[in-house]
Amino acid sequence: MAKNDLQGTLDLLVLKTLDQNGALHGYGIVLHIQSASNDLLRVEEGSLYPALHRMEQSGWISAEWSLTETNRRAKYYKLTPQGRRQLEAAQESFDQLVRGVRAVLRYA
């Protein structure tokens, strides 16, 4: 699959994770995606950050520094209203993609 589609998928995963969990730091997002996908999906940890910053610049998520449960400083991200709309759109297009791919596989 093309690189862009994978990137779009990463955006979708991050947005969905933040939608379900409220504020999370990058490491938390990695852990959540891994556990929620039953270990099927592993994000290369470094590559998450360019995506987070891009989405922040696009106004989909907002960030602030805060303390973790273990009293470490970490940057927490949460969904903005614009991000929620983006999530819906991304989910819709992903569903279409999946339906499309399925349909092709069925008749292939």
Partner 1 sequence: MALFRRLTNLFRQPAIDRDIADELQSHIDLRIESNLASGMSPEQARRDALLRFGNPTSTRERVAAFDASLALAGLWRDVRYAARQLRKSPGFTLTVIATLAIGIGVNVAIFSSMDAVVLRPLAVPALDHVMVLAQEQQRGKQPVTLADYTDIQRQNRSFEDLAVLQGADYTLSGAGDAAQINADLVSSSFFRVLGTQAFLGRVFDQSECQPGRNAVAVLNYGFWKRHFGANSRIIGQKIQLDQHEYTIIGVLPRTMQYPPAVDMLLPFAPTPAQLSNRSDHTYLVIGRVRNGVSLKSAQSEMQIISERLAKSYPATNQGWTVHVEPLLSEINGDLTPLYYKLIMGASMFVLLVVCANVANLQLARGVARRSEIAMRTALGATRTRIIRQLLTENILLALVGASLGIALAAIYLHLTLVFMPARVARYIPGWDNISVNGRALTFSVLLAVFSGIVAGLAPSVEALRLRLVDQLRAGSRQATGRSRLRSIFAVAQISLAVALVIGAALMAKGMSSMFHQADIYSPEKILTLHPDLPAKRYDTPEKQAEWYRAALDRLRSLPGASRVELATALPYTDSGWQLDLSIENRPTTPGKLQTVVRLAITPGYLDAFHIPILDGRNFTQSDSIHSLPVAIVSRRFADLYFGGANPIGHRIRLGDSKSHDPWLTIVGISQEANYSLWENDLPPAVYTSFAQQPLAGSTIAVLSNGDPMALASSARKALASIDAGVPIDPVQTYRNLIRDNLVGLMYAASMLALDAFIALLLSAIGIFAVMANLVGERTREIGVRLAMGASKQDVLRIIIRRASWLTGTGLVIGLALAFALARLVANLLRGVRPDDPVTFAAVALIIVLVALAASWFPARQASRVDPMQALRSE
Q: How far is CA 108 from CA 2, 94, 97, 98, 99, in A?
A: 20, 21, 16, 15, 14
C-alpha to C-alpha distance for 59 and 80, rounded to whole angstroms: 7
**Residue 89 lies near partner 1 (rule: CB under 8 A):** no
Q: Which is nearer to partner 1, 45 or 88 (CB)?
A: 45
Q: What is the DSSP letter of 23?
A: S
**Residue 9 CB, nearest distance to partner 1 (Å)?**
18
Residues 29-88 that bind partner 1 (CB under 8 A): 44-47, 49-50, 53-54, 56-59, 68, 70, 72-75
**Residue 27 lies near partner 1 (rule: CB under 8 A):** yes
Strand residue runs (E) in 1-108: 24-25, 61-67, 73-79
**Helices 3-21 & 81-107, crossing angle to 10 degrees?**
130
**Residue 88 CB, nearest distance to partner 1 (Å)?**
20
**Residue 65 CB, nearest distance to partner 1 (Å)?**
8
C-alpha to C-alpha distance for 52 and 44, rounded to whole angstroms: 13
**Residue 10 CB, nearest distance to partner 1 (Å)?**
13
Residues within the interface to partner 1 (CB under 8 A): 25-27, 44-47, 49-50, 53-54, 56-59, 68, 70, 72-75
